[in-house]
Amino acid sequence: MSPDFLQGLLTRRSQGIKHLSTPGPSAEDLQQMARAALRAPDHGELVPFRFRVVEGPQREALGDLFAEHAASIGKSGATADLERERALRAPVTVAVIARIDPGHPQVPVHEQWMCVGGAVTNFLNAAHALGYSGKVLSGNKVRGPAIIRAFCGPGEQLVAWIAVGTGTREPHVAGRDATEVLQPWTRPRDAEVTVPDR
């Protein structure tokens, strides 16, 4: 791993959509991000995800869907307007769609989800390496029936949105220490197993 790439990972910060500006990624940049996503563990032929890119004038249509969903669940007009604005803030928004096969004979469901998570992480890391910032969004915006119908086919799930653009905040080193998530393991005494003589 190159020192520059590692430094990029260590200083990558998630930027809220209000901190994402133009320019957004080009078509070739998005292709690079998708190629990085395809490097997630996929067990050879299985690719349980796909991305749908919303940019340009289609952002207005996405804003309408967000606002309509907010209104359909009882949000006030001001909140619905805010949801519409959020769809317009990032230059590019990418829908993350999962295609999980619960009956796959070799790859259990949890491993398919691991692949989806790895793909999103690789996509974000590639965006950062190309000079952009990104933010993963979920919540109500992935649960609206009209939104799901607009983006998903049969058997697919809308998992999240990735908002991508040029970050306006400086990168920083995460304040948390690696020892919080990296600890040595020793076998507990009550887990010891005695193998009987045969």
For the chain, state the CA radius of gyration: 20
- For 10-191, CATH number out of 3.40.190.10, 3.20.10.10, 3.40.109.10, 3.10.20.440 equals 3.40.109.10
What is the average pLDDT value for the chain, to the nearest integer?
Answer: 85
Question: For residue range 130-187, what is the model confidence (pLDDT) as tens digits?
Answer: 999 888 988 777 888 999 999 999 999 999 999 999 887 776 556 678 888 888 888 8
Which residues, other chains included, contact 36 with Cβ-Cβ below 8 Å and sequence gap of 6+?
Answer: 122, 123, 125, 126
- Find the range with the poorest average confidence among 20-34, 52-66, 108-122, 164-178: 164-178
d(CA 167, CA 18): 9
pLDDT of residue 130: 92
The whole-number average pLDDT for the span 101-130 is 92
Statement: residue 86 has pLDDT above 90: no
- Find the range with the poorest average confidence among 44-53, 100-109, 165-174, 180-189: 165-174
Statement: residue 53 has pLDDT above 70: yes
> Structural domain boundaries of the chain?
10-191
d(CA 185, CA 198): 31
Q: Is 24 helix (H, G, I), strand (E, B) or coil?
A: coil
